[in-house]
Amino acid sequence: MAKVLARAACVLILCGGVAVSALAQTSPATKSSPYVQITLRQQLEKGLKCRRPIEFQFVDHVADLVDQGKLPIDIVNKCFDWSRQKNSFRPYVYFRRSLTILAEKSGFAIN
């Protein structure tokens, strides 16, 4: 009985190692892969559930400021996470207000 269990454990270990090495060799950015990188603009639009044109304009403006280096991504991510926790139904309202306040306190202009 012990030999059977030992053999089964060895088989599981070997199969696990093969599966891990196969996963490590796949590239995460292919169309067939479930791991797709999205842009900051897409993350904000989808995550904040933007619907109105003014919301999309603000998200575009924020993404442009981050791309230009005029607004740190840390502040944007902090406000993004907080607003989604605060209100999962309409997080955009909380995001815009919190980002404006936090950026101003940190010395960055969003206007």
pLDDT digits (tens, 9 = 90+) for 39-84: 999 999 999 999 999 999 999 999 999 999 999 999 999 999 999 9
Q: What distance, in Å, lies between the first and last C-alpha atoms of the chain?
A: 73
Q: Quote the pLDDT of residue 35.
A: 80
Q: Report the mean per-residue pLDDT for the chain.
A: 81
Flag whether the pTM goes above 0.75: no
Instruction: Answer yes or no: is pLDDT of 6 > 90.
Output: no
Half-sphere exposure for 98 (CA within 13 Å, toward CB)? 19
Count the helix, strand and coil residues of the chain and give each as a percent rounded to the nearest 5: 70, 0, 30
Range with lowest mean pLDDT among 2-16, 50-64, 75-89, 94-108: 2-16
